[in-house]
A and B are shown apart, each in its own frame.
Chain A
Amino acid sequence: MNTLKSWRFWLLNLSVAAIAFANIFVLSHSLPFMGHNKTFGINRIIEHSQWVEGAPVVLTNHFATVSVNHIGDRFKNGFGFESELIGIFKVHSVNRSQDPIDIRGKVPLKTLLHYRHYETTTHCSGQSSKYCNLWIVWDGGNSAPYRTFIGTQVDDSLLLSDFDQPNRKPRQVKTFMLLDSNLYRNLIGDPNGN
């Protein structure tokens, strides 16, 4: 038996060597995992990951009791706010019966952005994408642990998740906002007055 004279043996070794070389040096690859993580709490992990479904978790991370209304239907004029996560993370109440309030032109975007604490994406029935942007806006100076958030629609903006894809030109998409009802009253007026 002379292994070194076997063409099969050499074909195998050369193939594996070439494939390993290509895997490491030629083909594009991303990091298999990440290091230096110090966040182990499930709520915080979800908040940090800018998850498309994460809005209910972010709200309950910051406030003891949260109610949300004007969500609408994500397949029509509204946006996604996952029912399982509402239950798991104990959002107090959610009312989807009314569409988000259109506040475009009623208040300068710059004023609202001043109070923006979180931005992510959400599911919706947009024209250029099935995702829309979602901002969560509240007054950090108000310490009340019980909050009601109102779904609103503001001016379109560039889709956040497109910035993670280097070769993709960011698309202009609908932008929704979960706006703290106290801030809504202060900046716009009575939400039931429209």
Chain B
Amino acid sequence: MVTEFAVLILIALGGSAIAWQLGIRNLWLSVPAGLMIAVVARDFLFATMNMVHQRWIGAFSFFGILALGLVVAAWQAHRGLYKNLLLGTSLAVLAVISTRVLGFQGTPHGDSLWILSFAHLFDINGNIAFLNGHTAIKRGFSYPLLLSLGPSGQFLTGITPYIFGALGCLVIWAIRELVGTQPKKRVYWIAGLLLVATFSTVMPVRAIYYVNGHTLTAVGMLAAAVSVVVAVRDYHLTREQLLVICLGVFTASTSRVEGIVLAALIVLPLLTQPWIRRSEIAWIIGSGTFGLSMWLSTYHSYIIHATHLPWFVFMAIFVGLGLLPALKLFDWIRHRILPIALGGMALVFVAAEVVFHNALRKGNQALYDNLIGGSGRWGWFFVALIVVLVLGLRKLKELTPEHRTLLWITSALVLGSLIVKMLDGGQFGHPTLGRTGWSDSLNRMWLQSFAIFLVAGLVGLVQNDKLWGADATAKVTK
């Protein structure tokens, strides 16, 4: 237990301290940013050491970098840093107490046991070639690497609730960034209602201890989404926002294989802006393509083998292709991609439903059973979400830029998740939309996006004056 406390507290302290050094100083952003920095450091060090077959050094150097970051930041920041460190430490301590003292653990599930098996392999510095060509790619890279930092023979049990805590911090940060100037009564009331609607269902609570990469992906996605929305609203991308987006895209792209697709959809509204610098586009896309290709080069390299290219050539081509949208040549399409992307996805979905209507009938029923009928353990969360999103709607011209961007991202994530699931099922024949039950991968995939949906709903409701009995037109005229 002592090892677990020490490791998780070091991740919390070191991550927040390095975030501070890099200019991410907001209290509520410090914990998730610190976590994402830990993800980048762990992945990069492990992948590098794996190349020279010295994986055990990866963990030692990871702890060394976190400790060094903490010492340097504490030296430079003096008193300013202590609140961030206190928040991170509190979350880490609570997380470890809940798993090691109170004995809370996630619902048993085959995917969790697979992920724990990978964590065991990393823990014993075993031969990663065992995973190559056999193991489902959707089980991820970053999350098992974090789990493997636990005591010998065990796993880091506290990291899963800590990740959920980081997601909670992100939601608070999102609310403060997006509706911080609105009347507090509105914000508290809506936040309270959404809290009740969310935590009266099983799935969001299950995510606290469920051993899988979904919540880590959600952290990356929400961090990137909020920064994108704020930048689009302000017509300006700060260095802090760029860093958070890059960290978020990297985290999402290395936690679940569909993460890079969902992250791409999230950053699209920002990449289409005429004012964004080409170097910023390159950094954002590169974070995802570099992360995913690093994962594929470390294990799951059967995808690279299929191309008959050396891993470094594959990596260079993959990252290079990702940089193409930054070229002036593609500006025309880049500035018009939002409606094209959304319309295209809608078209693909409808076409698949028509062409494969027999194959998808079972999946459609499963989708209904899981999201409305209660079989997916979401209760009526999605019914509540539809009510919330509809009541927050106004005429297109009256929507604020942040609400409009969030609605676009929400629509894109819904369509994107459905299409990703169809493609996943399509590997084995006809496309599918999953099966009835909470453990269906599409049903669990909503854990990655639900926080973004909630923030979109909250912003709409808080900003919609009609909901609060005010005449919006009169207010605008004044």
Contacts and interface: CB of A to CB of B under 8 A. Distances in A.
A88 interface: yes
Contacts of A51: 110, 113
B186 to A, nearest CB: 9
A12 B391 contact: yes
A17 B153 CA distance: 46
Contact of A53 (B113, B464, B468): B113
Contacts of B119: 42
Contacts of A33: 104-107, 205-206, 208-210
Interface string A31-54: 111111110111101100101111
Interface stretch (A1-9, A96-104, A179-187): A1-9
A107 interface: no
Quick one: which of B157, B465, B469 has the most chain A CB within 10 A? B469
Given A1-B470, A5-B469, A35 B103 contact: yes
A21 to B, nearest CB: 8
A155 to B, nearest CB: 27
A84 B117 contact: yes
Interface stretch (B77-85, B124-132, B332-340, B421-429): B124-132
Interface stretch (A22-30, A73-81, A143-151): A22-30
Given A12-B467, A35-B103, A43-B153, A29 B208 contact: no
A40 B154 contact: yes
Contact of B200 (A13, A24, A30, A31): A24
Given A3-B468, A20-B196, A52 B110 contact: yes
B377 interface: yes
Interface size class of A (residues with CB under 8 A): 35 or more
B461 interface: yes
Nearest to B155: A42
A42 B153 contact: yes
Interface string A88-117: 110000000000000000000000000000
A53 B114 CA distance: 9
Interface in B256-309: none
A12 B469 contact: no
Contacts of B214: none
B197 A45 contact: no
Given A6-B467, A20-B197, A43 B130 contact: no
B155 to A, nearest CB: 6
A16 interface: yes
Interface string B383-397: 110011001000000
Given A19-B383, A33-B209, A40 B469 contact: no
A129 to B, nearest CB: 15
A85 B135 CA distance: 10
B446 interface: no
Contacts of B461: 12
A52 B129 CA distance: 23
Nearest to B467: A8
B343 to A, nearest CB: 30
A16 B103 CA distance: 32
B130 A38 contact: no
Contact of B202 (A32, A43, A84, A87): A32
A83 interface: yes
Given A24-B200, A32-B208, A43-B153, A87 B377 contact: no
B293 to A, nearest CB: 22
9 contacts: A5-B469, A6-B469, A17-B196, A19-B387, A27-B374, A32-B203, A33-B106, A33-B206, A46-B117
Given A30-B107, A84-B134, A87-B130, 10 more contacts: A23-B200, A31-B107, A32-B203, A32-B208, A33-B206, A42-B153, A57-B117, A85-B117, A88-B120, A88-B126
